[in-house]
């Protein structure tokens, strides 16, 4: 299990907290949660079950966690979460309940934002590893 990441972000006069953690190899999931005043505004889960036996798993996990953490912060700073509170509090701009978990298929692809998705990063790593093994 890798040590988690915690970042406080000031955005439009409010303090947000982004927390990313590794659930460990028995539950190989990276979880990132965006909080504001103790409320969960958004969360993302990424399974790494397919690479749990990777040779350099701690380094890969650290990179994946950093990328997912950074992406949540970028989404906040890009205004992807509304700043208005209604009866149920702040809501993601795209709709859905504040604590909705994005499925991996819902993540933006590298083509849409110019940044690599976690899946793309994993595939690149695995391809590079296989290339390195060739004589």
Return the axis-axis angle of helices 118-133 and 57-77, rounded to nearest 10°.
Answer: 150
Q: Cα angle at 10 between 2 and 87, to 5 degrees?
A: 100
- Domain boundaries in the chain? 5-103
Q: What is the pLDDT of residue 32?
A: 97
Number of H helices, E strands in the chain: 3, 7
Per-residue confidence in pLDDT tens, the chain, 135 aa: 567 999 999 999 999 999 999 999 899 999 999 999 999 999 999 999 999 999 999 999 999 999 999 999 999 999 988 654 443 444 443 333 333 333 333 333 334 345 666 666 666 666 666 666 555
DSSP at 78: T
State residue 81's pLDDT score: 80
Task: State how far the Cα of 110 lies from the Cα of 72, in Å rounded to an integer.
Answer: 15
| DSSP label at residue 25 | T
């Amino acid at each position: 299990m890798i040590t988690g990441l915690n970042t406080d972000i000031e955005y439009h006069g409010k303090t947000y907290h982004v927390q990313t953690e590794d659930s460990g190899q028995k539950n190989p999931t990276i979880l990132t949660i965006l909080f504001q005043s103790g409320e969960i505004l958004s969360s993302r889960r990424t399974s790494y079950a397919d690479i749990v036996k990777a040779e350099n798993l701690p380094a890969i996990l650290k990179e994946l966690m950093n990328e997912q953490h950074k992406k949540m912060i970028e989404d906040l700073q890009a205004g992807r979460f509304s700043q208005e509170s209604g009866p149920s509090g702040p809501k993601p701009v795209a709709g859905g309940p504040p604590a909705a978990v994005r499925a991996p298929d819902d993540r933006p692809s590298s083509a849409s934002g110019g940044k690599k998705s976690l899946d793309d990063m994993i595939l690149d790593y695995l391809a590079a590893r296989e290339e390195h093994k060739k004589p």
